[in-house]
Amino acid sequence: MPELQTGGHQGYLRIATEEAFAPPELIRAYERILDRDDVDPGFESLMGFYLRSKSERAQAVFRRLQDLGAERLADMDARGIDRQVIAVTGPGTQILDRDSGVAMSELINDRLAEACQRHPDRFTGMAACAPQDPAHAAKEIERAVSKLGMRAVVINSHTHGEYLSDPKFWPIFEAAEALDVAIYLHPQTPPRDMVGPMLEAGLDGAIFGFGVETGFHALRIITSGAFDRFPKLQIVLGHMGEALPYWMYRLDYMHNAGVRSNRYPFMKPLKKEKVSNYLRENFYITNSGVAWEPAIRFAQEQIGVDRVLYAMDYPYQCPPEEVGILDAMSLPPQVKKMFFQTNAERLFKLA
């Protein structure tokens, strides 16, 4: 494998678009939640591990999450990453109560904006918000984008078991659409009602549970009709679209059958008719955690080469050899440049 370098020697810059951080104040809030008797079981599985395990992997993630300086930059250099698009880690503010979530979203955005101002050529930020208070979330997104220079919004999937398909959250969609920024719908642990049998099998986390829950969330948003109300809204999904591209045929068939038979009050006819039309026109997909050419090619073929982007998933999954594997994909040079660089530049308005 040739040595990885930043600077575009291979014909493109590498822009990693789903990279995580957590300010120490958020870590301390998570510690307090973990100490409670009624702690959410999925959260306990996720953050109980990363904050308290003595394993080398957990400790490295814990340390790197909190760094927005020297160690992160050195890791980027060692992996040939020119720029990170950074968001607060899942579950972000969304495990907190409403008032704490509101205050934390402002702190997160201030902290991330400072880091981006210190390293404007290496870091780009996504705005945090607290969906627990939709009106504040919309205002905070406005502040983070207009005043702090954030180029997208992160939502770490459900908020206390509630989904953005609920119109009470739509001020968030309205703000994102009006500001012309995408929403990165990032996983967190499945809610209490879903996580039980997954936990028992050790499948609640990034291995599978995250993808199932986040893919489900994205589908709920589509079938709710939210995109008919906010037609310009763009949502980014990591992990190869949480497998939704692979599901498209069956989603279209069964959604159509469900609508025609009037089986569910929730499931109404959609303006674009097919679920897949929304996946193709209102979604971007990143390959975070999936350094696998066949899956990337399938998404490019089905969703479009202009809608599939590179992401690493630092610091949770960041082996340098994955960068080499993706560099070696047998894609035309212009498509590889779209994947690693220009799609991100367009979506996050970097160039």
Q: Toward Mn ion, which CB reaches closer, 230 or 316?
A: 316
Q: Toward Mn ion, which CB reaches closer, 171 or 211?
A: 211
Return the closest-CA partner of residue 206 out of 52, 300, 89, 56: 89
Q: How does DSSP classify residue 4?
A: P
| Segment contacting Mn ion by CB under 5 A, of 116-124, 139-147, 294-302, 306-314 | 306-314
| Segment contacting Mn ion by CB under 5 A, of 107-115, 308-316, 321-329, 333-341 | 308-316
Q: Toward Mn ion, which CB reaches closer, 138 or 309?
A: 309
DSSP track, 186-203? ---PPPHHHHHHHHHTT-
Element (H, E) at 127: none
Under a CB-based contact definition with an 8 Å cutoff, are residues 160 and 147 in contact? no
* 182-185/235-237 β-pairing: parallel
Query: Minimal distance in Å, beta carbon 233 to Mn ion?
Result: 21
Query: Minimal distance in Å, beta carbon 18 to Mn ion?
Result: 5
Q: Toward Mn ion, which CB reaches closer, 124 or 223?
A: 124
CA dihedral in degrees (215, 219, 221, 227; nearest 10)? 120
Under a CB-based contact definition with an 8 Å cutoff, are residues 127 and 152 in contact? yes
Whole-number Å distance between alpha carbons of 107 and 117: 15
Q: Is 140 in the site for Mn ion (CB under 5 A)?
A: no
Q: Is 213 in the site for Mn ion (CB under 5 A)?
A: no
Which residues within the stretch 5-24 sit at the binding site for Mn ion (CB under 5 A)? 18
The dihedrals phi and psi of 155, each to the nearest 5 degrees, come to: -125, 120
Judged on CB neighbours under 10 Å (0-12, 13-18, 19+), 339 is buried
Whole-number Å distance between alpha carbons of 130 and 289: 26
Query: Minimal distance in Å, beta carbon 62 to Mn ion?
Result: 15
Whole-number Å distance between alpha carbons of 18 and 153: 12
Q: Is 313 in the site for Mn ion (CB under 5 A)?
A: yes
Query: Minimal distance in Å, beta carbon 8 to Mn ion?
Result: 25
Q: Toward Mn ion, which CB reaches closer, 171 or 205?
A: 205
How many residues sit in the footprint of Mn ion (CB under 5 A)? Answer: 2
Q: Is 313 a catalytic residue?
A: yes
Which residue of the set 193, 228, 313, 327 is catalytic?
Answer: 313
| Segment contacting Mn ion by CB under 5 A, of 101-109, 216-224, 275-283, 307-315 | 307-315
Query: Minimal distance in Å, beta carbon 289 to Mn ion?
Result: 7
Catalytic positions, please? 313
Q: Applying CB under 5 A, which residues contact Mn ion?
A: 18, 313
